[in-house]
A and B are shown apart, each in its own frame.
With several copies, the nearest count.
Chain A
Amino acid sequence: MEFILNEEQEMLKTMARDFLENECPKTLVRQMMEDEVGHSPELWKKMAEVGWLGLVFPEKYGGSEMNFRDLTILCEEMGRAMMPGPFFSTMLLAGMPILEAGTEEQKQEFLPKIASGDLVCTLAVLEEDGDFWPGAVQLKATPRGDDYIISGTKMFVPDAKAADYILVAARTGRSANPEEGITLFMVDATEWGIYIKPLLTMDETRKQYELMLNRVAVPASNIIGEVDQGWPILESMALKARAVLCAEMVGGGEWVLETSVNYAKDRIAFGVPIGSFQAIKHKCADMHSGLEYARSLMEWAAEVIKDGSPDTQIAVSMAKSYCGDVYKAVCGEGIQLHGGIGFTWDHDMHLYFKRSRSADSAFGDANHHRGLIANRFD
């Protein structure tokens, strides 16, 4: 395992940072926060141009065939820049299932359009309880001729208003094992019977919606994977989604640390920079240490996913748990260090704080993943 970036990866990182500093300043972030859709088609087009929207797709689908570790490097920078919009939804939540479980036809239909920036996708899996587990998937899809008819409500669907297609996890069968009987449908978001209602959530950089489907007809050819066998596809995607969230968290955490350290050097109180007080120094030292160790676990998780190692599940759970705790703590400390100004709406610190909360809670929080790890020791 090699934790040091190679030359190409260093280039990707530098390029990503430059690109995002130019194309995704905080003014854009705040503009998107105010926006109900939260998606900037201009930014999206530019991302397609630099090849980010097909980064890990094979060349034949318009991709750049880079690996998963490369993707996390990019996402680290996106987390640092607090980039809004449907990248995570399109690339991870919907893109990975298509890439890994789609038929050749489906891949040809969707992947090139994603890569070219012509298609925004997302995933609707969570329901009333908001937790990612198979028992929660109760929304029903019933076969009728060549179609399936889907009715019910999905919660916490990210970027639904920006999406052209929504991958919907629905229940098509029941058995003692709740993992069986779940089927994934690519649903055209413009279909009759679809209602999308914004949810007022804390992290406004990552829009979420309530999705109501009222007798929506989906052709069976839009099923990703086999009927009733959708859950393992989502599980596989979730591993990658978690690792990417970890990368975003580490990237965001480093922004918070750097911003805090700079503030501590500049802000004068009692005639000296506040960074000369031990209470501030030690806070910064702890933030730094936490992020160092979070990074190690995040990079380990990314590497084992890339390599397809059997350690993947435990590595991802460890990284997700630790990064979530550290990111939340670092953002809290960052606000405290800034004092009053850090508590204002106008300062950017709270954007990171809120993202740390939504990222920790997505796909299982720290407690949940510690529980999963414990089960492996049983």
Chain B
Amino acid sequence: MTTEKSENLNALRREVRAWLRANLPKGWGTPEYKPPPSYSREQHEQGKEWTRKLYDAGYTGFGYPKEYGGIERPRDEIAVIRAELGRTGTPGGPLSLGMLVAAPAILAHANEEQKKRHIPKILSGEESWCEGFSEPDAGSDLANVQTTAKRDGDEWVVNGQKCWTSMWEFADWSLLVAKTDLEAPRHRNLTYFVFSTDTPGFSRRPLRQMSGEAEFGEIFFDDMRIPHENMIDAEGRGWYVAMTALMAERSGGGGFEGGGSALAGIGMEGLLDADSLVNLAKNTKRYGKSVWEDEAFRQKIVQIAIETQAMRWSGTRMAAKMRKGLPLGNEASVFKNFQAEMRQRRGNLTMEILGAYSQMVRGSSRAVDNGDWVYNMLRSLGATIEMGTSEINRNIIAERVLGLPR
């Protein structure tokens, strides 16, 4: 039975597919396609352009009211669009922090003027964002912020340093949490700001990670002056804004829709793909035999495939809960830990499969699949640390979900 509604959705599906065929980067989805490294200026500009195109086509910007540049469509249309984008694994990347963290935090805590100033430019890809959050002495203990902002007339004077800043290199704007009250107790002494990275007194440098890349940066504030109108929410409320931003980040920008998008948001499309692991095992010969012939490897690979599906359907389940308006809250911590630890298990397993070739890194002509397996394994070590360590997240699950005493 074909209803009018399903006819419309089918038409939309065809429209999105045609649009994707016309607009996707050349070669996207083929093994030959090599995206520019995610921290290059080139990739950054491509990301902006892609977001703009999506926005103009009406394929992004969901979940925000029209007056802030949001695109309002019926739920089932959004589902179709997301499913189609997900199917092709459309490029995410350099703009994601704005969508993932800045826009939700601004929407929840900023004033009307600020929302109108920033959200439309985030959604449309016009301005990219980073986030001044972690500090050398405020990692797991996020409240221990040492960067200070001191009121001086209509301005705040900021001094200090942030580290582990994603998207640090080319961001146009940044979030910032700073200590504004040296006397007030923890959690009540912080204030949230936004600032343009053009501001004098701001500087940045790469923070090289163990894989050799500098995906993260350190950012510095040397008597950097922010106008008072750039303060978000009220003075002393910074901790609560930060928690909104962090939860949004852990849950993958609220994008549990379709399971996959939460992962896509944080650049892990590959995680939902068990076939590539099977193919790696089939194509790798060890001691003269295909790895896939070994029952011990089959068991381990299938376990990853099972966990992949579990993750997918948990994402779907969470999305359904959100749609029904059911409380979600700290489920993000459960999800974040599972995907991070699963990435490590997956990374370790790929190294076991690859044997001697598990040593060959990006840049080597001998490396398997351009060294991506090795890079992903190395990068996965950060997954259980960033956005709240696994240990902190387990505390959150125990205390806030299960109600165990602090």
Contact = CB atoms under 8 A, between A and B. Distances in A.
Interface of A: 1-4, 126, 129-131, 133, 135-136, 155-156, 199-203, 208, 210, 257, 261, 264-265, 268-270, 272-282, 284-286, 288-289, 292-297, 299-300, 315, 318, 321-322, 328, 332, 335-336, 339-347, 349-350, 353, 357-358, 361, 365, 367-368, 370-371, 373-374, 377-378
B144 interface: yes
Q: Give the contact-size bracket for chain B.
A: 35 or more
B385 A344 contact: no
A339 B391 CA distance: 10
A210 B384 contact: no
A308 B395 CA distance: 41
A361 B356 contact: yes
A210 B358 CA distance: 16
A200 B394 contact: no
B338 interface: yes
B337 interface: yes
Given A281-B399, A367-B352, A200 B367 contact: yes
Contact of B398 (A4, A284, A295, A357): A284
A370 B299 contact: yes
B404 A280 contact: yes
A202 B351 CA distance: 12
Contacts of B296: 367
Given A284-B402, A336-B384, A345-B210, A365 B298 contact: no
Contacts of A353: 210, 381
Contacts of A295: 317
A368 B337 contact: no
Most buried by A among B209, B307, B405: B405
A336 B287 contact: no
B60 to A, nearest CB: 24
B305 interface: yes
A361 B394 contact: no
Contacts of A296: 310, 313-314, 316-317
B311 A156 contact: no
Contacts of B307: 293, 322
Contacts of B299: 367, 370-371, 374
A108 to B, nearest CB: 32
B306 A370 contact: yes
B392 to A, nearest CB: 9
B298 A273 contact: no
B261 interface: no
Contacts of A341: 136
Interface in B301-347: 301-303, 305-307, 309-311, 313-314, 316-317, 320-321, 324, 326, 331, 334, 337-338, 344
B394 A279 contact: yes
Interface of B: 134, 136-137, 139-141, 144, 163-164, 207-210, 212, 274-275, 278, 285-288, 292, 295-296, 298-299, 301-303, 305-307, 309-311, 313-314, 316-317, 320-321, 324, 326, 331, 334, 337-338, 344, 348, 351-352, 355-364, 366-367, 374, 378, 381-382, 384-386, 389-391, 393-395, 397-399, 401-406
Nearest to B375: A202
Contacts of A315: 309
Given A275-B398, A332-B344, 12 more contacts: A2-B320, A129-B288, A202-B360, A265-B404, A275-B404, A277-B391, A281-B399, A293-B314, A340-B385, A343-B209, A353-B381, A374-B298
A374 B399 CA distance: 39
B317 A279 contact: no
Contact of A371 (B295, B331, B390): B295
Contact of A286 (B301, B363, B386, B394): B394
Nearest to B341: A289
A377 B278 contact: yes
A156 B394 CA distance: 41
5 contacts: A4-B321, A131-B286, A276-B406, A288-B334, A300-B309
A131 B313 contact: no
B210 A200 contact: no
Question: Shortest 9 CB-CB distances between A and B: which pairs?
Answer: A130-B356, A281-B398, A350-B210, A345-B208, A200-B364, A269-B141, A285-B397, A296-B313, A293-B310
B334 A199 contact: no
Given A269-B139, A296-B313, A297-B310, A339 B385 contact: yes
B140 A339 contact: yes
A373 B314 contact: no
A137 to B, nearest CB: 12
Contact of A284 (B140, B311, B351, B404): B404
A284 B313 CA distance: 22
A284 B395 CA distance: 10
A328 to B, nearest CB: 8
Given A201-B359, A367-B296, A318 B210 contact: no
